[in-house]
Amino acid sequence: MSILSDAEIKRLALEDGMISPFQDYLVSEENGQKILSYGLSSYGYDIRLSPKQCLIFGRIQAGDCDPKNFDGDILVPTELLKDDKGSYFILPPYGYCLGVAEERLKLPRDVTVVAVGKSTYARSGIMVNITPAEAMWEGYLTLEISNCTGLFNRIYANEGVTQLLFFQGNPCEVSYQDRKGKYQNQLQEVVYSKA
């Protein structure tokens, strides 16, 4: 198994629709304004946080969160704000939210994706965690974002939020699609945990 290079990612995106929409270089400025980069890098692809939805854990301050029977009422929609630096959501101190990616993935049978954090966010106390997307998974990733600081923290929409690393190996015998994985074909909205 090896990590895919920019040329290989580009080929799979353009020929097979692996990433859509696809940006074939790293965008770090738009309309003369610096942004958190997104697009193709040397050995990965930085995806963006969609402005459509950001749900913060916090409606219930007691009890438990059950991943086998998730109660969406514990999530609070947060407002998309805007100023001269861009559009953003505010994540409260030690807060945790669910968002969704702007890009859609459609993975081939021999490619699996792992997400890693972006250093700019990590240096601000923000951790982005998504589980691997396995071979033949497709849809919009639900993003889990945590504020590890005692400060309010901005999460910028339409800008890079996490980097995806693509690993290619021999084609698997049973893909995520073959086994009818429960998170297959996610729409561009937050998908809660399922048993």
pLDDT tens, position by position, 6-23: 999 999 999 999 999 999
Which pLDDT score, from 0 to 100, does residue 95 have? 92
Cβ 89 vs Cβ 97: under 8 Å: yes
To the nearest 5 percent, what fractions of the chain are helix, strand and coil?
Answer: 10, 45, 45
Q: Which residue in 144, 159, 173, 189 is the catalytic one?
A: 144
Cβ 144 vs Cβ 57: under 8 Å: no
What is the biggest distance separating any 2 CA atoms in the chain, rounded to whole angstroms?
A: 50
Which pLDDT score, from 0 to 100, does residue 116 have? 92
Tokens 């040329």 locate to: 7
Q: How far apart are CA 133 and CA 127, in angstroms?
A: 18
Which pLDDT score, from 0 to 100, does residue 65 have? 83
Cβ 167 vs Cβ 135: under 8 Å: no
Residue 159 annotated among the catalytic residues of the structure? no
Residues near 122 by beta carbon (within 8 Å), at least 6 away in sequence: none
Q: Which residues of the chain have pLDDT under 70?
A: 59-63
Residues near 145 by beta carbon (within 8 Å), at least 6 away in sequence: 49, 91, 96, 97, 98, 99, 126, 127, 128, 129, 155, 161
Q: How far apart are CA 102 and CA 141, in angstroms?
A: 9
Q: How far apart are CA 117 and CA 93, in angstroms?
A: 19
Which pLDDT score, from 0 to 100, does residue 53 have? 94
Model confidence, pTM: 0.92
